[in-house]
Amino acid sequence: MAQLDLSTRDSFGSKIGVVAAAAGSAVGLGNIWRFPYVAGESGGAAFLMVYLGFILAIGFPVMLAELTIGRRAQRNALGSFKKLAPGKPWYLVGLMGIGAAFLILAFYSTIAGWTLEYLAQAISNGFDGKSSEELKNSFEQFQAAPFRPLIWQMIFMFLTAYIVYSGVKKGIEKYTKILMPILVLLIIVMSIRSLTLPGAEKGISFLFKPDFSKITWPVILDALGQAAFSLSIGMGTLITYGSYIPKNNNLPITALQVTAADTIIAILAGIMIFPAVFAFNIDPAEGFGLVFIVLPNIFEQMPGGYFFAILFFVLLSIAALTSTVSVLEVVVAYFSEELNMSRRKATILGAIGISFVGVLATLSFGPLSELQLLDRTIFGWFNYLSANVLLPIGAIFIVIFVGWHLGKKNVLDEISNQGELRLRLINLFMVIVKFIAPLAIAAVFIYGLGIIK
């Protein structure tokens, strides 16, 4: 059992293991569920362009900054700030990250639960013979039900807790290496099916032909929030994972591989979903349910659809699981290292605490759906607040910390593995973390929220 002991901290075993775990965290429902519906609500291609810009200019540097903090300090998200900046209020950034982990996992587990329901439906051949309209209705009935979604959510939280509890190296690292490539392959197969549906061109132009009149400040903020959410940055997941990365690992290469994998899978998800959206006459701005309505439609229309549906939802659940594990790990590493709990107690406490908050998120599609503030349900608020508020703010402080507090000497030392790697772009990186990223994120944030018009 991987016990977290400060003298011999658990760590990832291999280079591939590091990438698998970090990519496992990044690639999840954010790519396949969240990206298509946010892009769909925000006009498609123009959103994609802004999103890609943020991934490159901000996402990648922030990811590298987080990994640097974690590996430098060898501590959890809060302990890292305490260790690198003793006696200063920087630890509050870590504390905010722990809070964000609660919110994110609370609503993420709702959707992860839905994937289990859809897996069960796929197994019982539940999509067969249903029209688009019927698929949509049955989705809406399911999400509004008082019990079923809750039960799936709890099962998912249990699985997450089980893996975190048994340590990351022997469980998640091992399986993600095999399963993520299969997921990519399957998305490609489904994209091809989707692309060959009659009327598919409309979906492709929706995704790739930008109409820049769709770009407004709130849309830009959505793109930034989605980039942060999808890359798992801004709340300490990658600080925590960074603390398990061996000292000889090439951090820029790792960050690059994870960013590339995450981005490719999001785009593939778009190619899989939008042609089908238009072929089946579904509104791309349909929202949270988009993939759950569109995918069953495609499965019905493909040879071997029964089999592919099962495989797909198995893999989607696993992609979600490798992400939920990384969020729970933030809380567990904090509880066990800072509050001196055993890993076991930390896991149980964290999972139960989050599940309580998660019930509110799940019920906001049913019994609590009327409970709204400014047109958003509880789920809507968790989702919006975490991606569009907490992650951007967290990211600002993380880059400022690396740029101004750690400083070039320490950063260079850590990223270059104590001078072993030659880093040509280190000056560019420092300029980005000191000036460009914090200012750009702050500007998008302030304009996106409408604080300044």
Integer CA distances (angstroms), 15 to 9, 147, 245, in order? 17, 42, 9
- What is the C-alpha to C-alpha distance for residues 188 and 269, in angstroms, rounded to an integer? 9
CB of 326 to ligand TRP, least distance (A): 5
Report DSSP letters for 90-109, one per residue: THHHHHHHHHHHHHHHHHHH
φ and ψ at 376, to 5 degrees?
-120, 140
Decide whether 26 or 310 has the Cβ nearer to ligand TRP.
Answer: 26
CB of 18 to ligand TRP, least distance (A): 16
Binding site for ligand TRP (CB under 6 A): 25-26, 28-31, 104, 229-230, 232, 235, 237, 323, 326-327, 391
H helical segments located in 27-173:
29, 35-41, 45-54, 60-73, 77-84, 91-123, 132-144, 148-165
CB of 257 to ligand TRP, least distance (A): 15
Does residue 79 sit in helix, strand or coil?
helix
CB of 308 to ligand TRP, least distance (A): 22
Calculate the CA 38 to chain-centre distance. Answer: 13
Decide whether 186 or 279 has the Cβ nearer to ligand TRP.
Answer: 186
- What is the C-alpha to C-alpha distance for residues 444 and 63, in angstroms, rounded to an integer? 19
CB of 86 to ligand TRP, least distance (A): 26
Residue whose structure tokens are 């750690």: 406
- Residue 216 burial (CB < 10 Å; 0-12/13-18/19+)? middle
CB of 383 to ligand TRP, least distance (A): 11
Decide whether 45 or 235 has the Cβ nearer to ligand TRP.
Answer: 235
In the DSSP assignment, the letter for residue 339 is: S
Decide whether 237 or 243 has the Cβ nearer to ligand TRP.
Answer: 237
- What is the C-alpha to C-alpha distance for residues 110 and 151, in angstroms, rounded to an integer? 10
Do the Cβ atoms of 160 and 4 come closer than 8 Å? no
Does residue 9 sit in helix, strand or coil?
coil
CB of 382 to ligand TRP, least distance (A): 12
Cβ-closest residue to ligand TRP? 30
- Residue 109 burial (CB < 10 Å; 0-12/13-18/19+)? buried
Decide whether 320 or 432 has the Cβ nearer to ligand TRP.
Answer: 320
CB of 186 to ligand TRP, least distance (A): 17
Decide whether 42 or 237 has the Cβ nearer to ligand TRP.
Answer: 237
Decide whether 183 or 235 has the Cβ nearer to ligand TRP.
Answer: 235
Decide whether 29 or 73 has the Cβ nearer to ligand TRP.
Answer: 29
